[in-house]
Structure 1
Amino acid sequence: MRKIDVLALILSIIAIIIVSVSTYMYFSTLSELYKEVKIINQRLSNLEFIFTKPTYCPEVKYAKLFSIKCDGPVKIVRDALNRTILLIPKNLSVSLTQYFISKYRPDVVIKIPTEKIVLFSSTQVALIWRIDREYNLGLLRKVVAIAWGQRYRWYIPEIKKLIENGTIIDIGYADSPDYEKLITLKPDLVVIYTIPGYEPSVKLIQKLEELKIPYVVDNEWMESTFLGRFEWIKFLASFFNLDEKVSKLFNKIVSEVENIRRKLSEVKCRPGIAWFIIYRGIVWTPRPGSYVHDLIRTCSGIYLYENVSKVDLEVVISLANKTDILIYSSYLVESIDDILKEEPRLEVLKAIREGRVYAFHENIWQVGYAYPEILIKDLCYIVHSEIFREYELHFFKRLT
């Protein structure tokens, strides 16, 4: 602190002391005395604010559905439902805590760093796991419960072990969890996700509000870019005071993605990509504005259904000769014949005739989400194997 600041601080303290002493002699009513005490407390809070170290504030560049802003020692987070979450250091004084609560009028206040957290999706678990793998901070032991915990097949060995030995408990389905278990756990924070227009999501929020269980909404699945989707790692990191570490990790990954973009910047040929699964005769494609479109663009491919409002089998077959590559978005198939058993008419697709058909590896939704820099390399190898030579796929598999 500069000498002039120290001098100003000393003079302010002296002034407050003088005012405090004279107050008792000057004011004749308790109401006047109370008003003066409030003013003095505010001045003391301002002095404390000068000495309080400001928090590191991460930049949110790609994600559109959450934000993080900072004010001195606190963070103001907006979740996917645009709720205001005030993150306050545990060692912050009562007076400053009340000051920031009055200033921002948050929907929920969370004391950080969080010690007991409940997660509702495997993608949230994957992000916590990635942070833990990078920095070995023991974050997974702060996860006390997971929705769908014993219903998932886990490809993250550490999580599998913690569930099996009871360190992490299963609280049931994400849209109708075991509320008695949640109450017993007394978590510092519950991280949920919602589906617009889905009644169980509404009821889940109503129940958490009723039980006064602190929660935030993480809808990373609705982001339109894959880096925006992964940037939710900053959202989760903010509750553990790991903003600076995770920002460095994120910037490193962005740098790797930019290197890939530069490598593909002068590519002349852009293959046509079909990305779908057929289930009970219905063609299921990524939703409009999905991050999948961004993945394909990044790899200098053309998503064939970009401007098609409704994709059905007729549309798929009409673009058969433009379908250079088929990404079949399932890990339940092992061969092209498995796909043709579901829908024989797909045999006319150029990708099937030429054997350029790929499906998901079963670890994609957990490990793949945690490592977007590898996921994008996988896809770019599929789209431009002439550039990315001698590469081994991690999250996709080629079908024959």
Structure 2
Amino acid sequence: MRRVTKISAATVGLAVLAVTGTAVAAAGHGSNDNDWPYAHHSEATYTLAAVGDIACEPDDPENAGTPTSLKCGSPTLGGMSAEFATAGQATAMHPDAVALLGDEQYQVGKLTDFQQSFDQAWGGLKMLERPAPGNHEYYPYAKKGDNEAGQNGNGYFSYFNGHDQSGAPTNQGQAGDDTADNQGWYSYNLGNWHIISLNAECNSDAFNHDCSTTDNGLLAQETQWLSQDLAANSRPCTIAYWHQPTFSATTASTATVPAAAPGAGGVEGAAADAWWQLLYQNHATLVLNGHEHAYARLRAMDPAGDYDPKHGIPEFVVGSGGEALDTLAGTAGNYDNPNVVTGQAGAFGVLKLTLKSHGYSWDYQPVLPGPGFDSSALQYRDTGTGSCR
């Protein structure tokens, strides 16, 4: 099984992100921000932008069979204006890295879809992007009059890792390995922070539709890799992210349980639950997810979903990247999931995390109202601080 090479150069003032076969290195400190994104300007803090569920399916001849309601230009979707807005918001953060939380490209993440939609808005941040895949990069889509074959990560890896002249994806790059033994899980470091990107899309041909975390299948190998990666980590702060959330905040039923129930539903639930257990045992600081098209912050929880202020892990759901919006389950102060502290599903936006030596701060403020919402949706803001365990 391939292992990920992790490189950290915080001690020499470089923002270095590394996975097997690729690295992005800063050119050194500058006197101002004009040379961003190549210069990292603080030895003590790093900025991580985080968001998922981003780009609408382009309305082009290749997608002629897709209903117009599912493509860019549909009045029920965020469309190109939303993905450009969130990309601009992320760029203004001058991030050291961008954690992409899955479903970067709808509906099935073909390479041409990435090139004609996601890349148009988010391509300027590409060398800083550290993605995780979502169900729309792996699974087929056969809903709402559509019928598209699953890509099993081919378009995803072709876009982020590069591809040859025939379009075949490069098997190593910034999205991790694309091999029979590793479907894009990897880790990297920012200063005192160890950051892990995972692939939960086990109900796919690439994983042989095997969602067990304890047999000899690919998901079990990924779970074993996670255990080993956490055991080898010596940094005091840890973030893990993948697509489907372990604990739900919305009324969406796809691959999640009702928001009033603990634990993840759907076939990916076993992975999410097993990973939360490992992260909890290894004192992880934060978990980030997408999939639910909203923003929500959940209290520190143990693997059963019980509030655990001393040892639990807070979860941020940031599925507000631009494609569409869901509905939060419940209302402010009375959410169906009692661990939801706050949330919004009326606008698109990106989470800004400031990673310090032994703690962090977060700042989420939406940037563009969603369909059917006005500028009052932009009045929402969630900020705060936390410590590493």
Whether the TM-score (by the shorter chain) exceeds 0.5 is no
TM-score normalised to structure 1 length: 0.29
Structure with bigger strand share is 2
TM-score normalised to structure 2 length: 0.30
Structure having greater relative contact order (Cα 8 Å, sep ≥ 6)? 2
Structure with bigger helix share is 1
Between structure 1 and structure 2, the one with the greater Rg is 1
